[in-house]
């Protein structure tokens, strides 16, 4: 994908010029769907990364240093199927994996310490590779010198989110020990409100206000740490409400979530040393399913016009939140 032409050297680079130019040119479906050479190469590289993480997950399952003891590796094909579905929706809409799959796996009888750390590793892998793929597909441009607004947004969101996720993990799980059901009620209600606000403003073009993302980044990081979900919806919808084009915001969310999850992995490892029990039995199945979806979703974002995503993203957030809330209410 060609870099946008900047006539004035001092002109601000937003990082979504290429994506907007494609929308304005509005090429036919078959022109959009045909992958370019760099896009094919990017998909092959990403496949190799997921293969490496899958091998790591297989090793972690039976590794003796896990405080839960040695488990037997077994691919859970139901978890693989769920990972394919929810990772595709997550990577294409900027949300949904942790929010949807966590309550489902709890209902299926898995322990939070089997689910949340595995979700963090999966989301770190999918988020960072997704940001790379979004760049290759032209949904976003990452530029450091001069710094594009997309990179600036990533710094804001990932910075505040990292601080918030460390605070939430240590305070909620290590100190306050809040009940899991009340955490999920809070996250669900928050997502319903944000989803409806975003739907209300779907037709409007909002002015770009990046300072709002300090609040949304911190709020999303707090949600991620306490429940493993609720990050993508807050960041993605917060970005749309802050004036960022929807396709670009999905890419920024992927990079930000990948960064925050990567940091949270080290926090979980530190808690393991203090005696917290973690079992990685779900990780290989999650990675196996996510590999298919994480590679195809950024491609779908490129092919499908922005006007679809402007309605689909907030609507999907509301559906996710109502679903999660209905599951929690049954346990009250």
Quote the pLDDT of residue 50.
95
Quote the pLDDT of residue 52.
95
What digits encode the pLDDT tens for the residues 12-37? 778 888 777 777 776 666 667 777 88
What digits encode the pLDDT tens for the residues 253-273? 889 888 878 887 887 777 777
Residues of the chain with pLDDT under 70: 1-11, 26-31, 63-72, 171-183, 201-204, 227-229, 275-276, 328, 331-332
pTM above 0.85, yes or no: no
| Three-class DSSP labels, the chain | CCCCCCCCCCCCCCCCHHHHHHHHHCCCHHHHHCCCHHHHHHHHHHHHHHHHHHHHHHHHHHCCCCCCCCCCCCCCHHHHHHHHHHHHHHHHHCCCHHHHHHHHHHHCCCCHHHHHHHHHHHHHHHHHHHHHHHHHCCCCCCCCCCCCHHHHHHHHHHHHHHHHHHHHHHHHHHHHCCCHHHHHHHHHHHHHHHHHHHHHCCCCCCCCCCCHHHHHHHHHHHHHHHHCCCCHHHHHHHHHHCCCCHHHHHHHHHHHHHHHHHHHHHHHHHHHHCCCCCCCCCHHHHHHHHHHHHHHHHHHHHHCCHHHHHHHHHHHHHHHHHHHHHHHHCCC
Quote the pLDDT of residue 61.
83
């Amino acid at each position: 994908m060609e870099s946008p032409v900047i006539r004035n050297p001092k002109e601000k680079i937003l990082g979504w010029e290429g994506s907007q130019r494609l929308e304005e040119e509005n090429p036919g479906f078959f022109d959009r769907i045909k992958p370019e050479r760099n896009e094919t190469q990017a998909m092959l590289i990403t496949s190799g990364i997921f293969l490496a993480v899958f091998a790591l997950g297989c090793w972690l399952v039976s590794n003796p240093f896990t405080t839960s003891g040695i488990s037997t590796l077994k691919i859970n094909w139901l978890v693989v199927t769920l990972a394919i579905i929810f990772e595709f929706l997550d990577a294409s809409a900027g949300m949904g994996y942790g929010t949807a799959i966590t309550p489902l796996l709890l209902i299926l009888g898995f322990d939070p310490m089997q689910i949340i750390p595995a979700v963090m590793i999966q989301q770190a892998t999918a988020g960072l590779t997704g940001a790379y793929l979004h760049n290759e597909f032209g949904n976003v441009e990452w530029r450091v010198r001069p710094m594009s607004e997309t990179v600036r947004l990533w710094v804001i969101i990932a910075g505040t989110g990292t601080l918030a996720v460390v605070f939430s993990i240590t305070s909620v799980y290590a100190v306050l020990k809040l009940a899991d059901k009340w955490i999920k009620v809070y996250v669900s209600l928050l997502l319903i409100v944000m989803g409806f606000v975003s739907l209300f403003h779907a037709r409007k073009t909002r002015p770009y206000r990046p300072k709002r993302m300090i609040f949304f980044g911190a709020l999303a990081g707090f949600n991620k740490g306490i429940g493993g979900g609720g990050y993508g919806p807050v960041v993605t919808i917060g970005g749309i409400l802050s004036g960022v084009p929807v396709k670009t915001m999905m890419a920024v969310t992927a990079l930000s979530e990948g960064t925050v999850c990567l940091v949270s992995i080290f926090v979980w490892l530190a808690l393991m040393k203090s005696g917290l029990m973690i079992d990685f039995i779900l990780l290989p199945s999650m990675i196996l399913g996510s590999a298919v979806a994480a590679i195809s979703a950024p491609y779908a974002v490129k092919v499908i016009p922005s006007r679809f995503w402007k309605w689909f993203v907030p609507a999907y957030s509301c559906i996710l939140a109502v679903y999660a809330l209905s599951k929690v209410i049954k346990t009250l």
